[in-house]
Structure 1
Amino acid sequence: MTRLNLLLLAALVGSCVYLVQVAYEGRKLYSALDRARTEQALLERDFKRLQAEREAQATSSRVEKTAREKLAMHTATPAVTFYVDAAASEAQR
């Protein structure tokens, strides 16, 4: 009878240890999932912010302003336009 009691006690202790281990792993995985969801929300927020910044910087007025200021470009007018005659350029070859 004592052998049976010891065997049942060992089985009970083993199952308790296994239960604690499974509960710990479950909490650990839930915590990791929660962190991943939080990181996903932050990344989505940053992505939307970066998309809005990209759209704001790609406006035609900003591109034109940057071209004028940094690249010293100006609008093409007939006064600064050179026309190439295709027949004359072929004759020079």
Structure 2
Amino acid sequence: MIRLNLVLLVAVLASAFYLVHTQYESRRLYTAIDRAQAQSRKLESEHEQLQVQKRAQATPSRVQQLATRQLDMRPVTPGITEYVVLPASATTPAEPTR
């Protein structure tokens, strides 16, 4: 009878330790999920801010301003347009090779 009691005591202790370990792991994983969700919300917020900044940087007036200031570009006018004329030989198709 004592052996049976010892075996049952060992089984109860083992299951108790396993239960404590399982609860600890559950809490640890829940905390990790919570941290990951918080980081996800933070990254989503940063992404939205970057999208707004990107749209602000790509407005046509800003692009034209940068092109004028930094690249010394100017709007096209007929007075400064150069027309390129192709020679007549370039407009005829080449003969196929055999």
Deviations for 1:41-90, whole angstroms, at most 9, x for unmatched residues? 011001101111111111000000000011010011122111234xxx31
In the TM superposition, what is the alpha-carbon distance from 1:5 to its structure 2 partner? Answer: 1.3
Amino acid at match of 2:87: E
What RMSD over aligned residues (CA atoms) do the two structures have, in Å? 1.4
State the identity %: 46
CA distance in 1 between partners of 2:55 and 2:30 (Å): 37
**Equivalent residue pairs, number:** 90
Q: Secondary structure at the match of 1:71?
A: coil
Q: Secondary structure at the match of 2:47?
A: helix
Question: TM-score, structure 1 length as denominator?
Answer: 0.89
Higher helix fraction: Structure 1 or Structure 2? 1
Gaps of 5+ in 2: 91-98
CA distance in 2 between partners of 1:48 and 1:91 (Å): 55
Which runs of 4 or more aligned residues in structure 1 lie more than 2 Å from their structure 2 counterparts after TM superposition? none
Q: 1:4 maps to which residue? A: 4
Amino acid at match of 1:11: A
Question: TM-score, structure 2 length as denominator?
Answer: 0.85
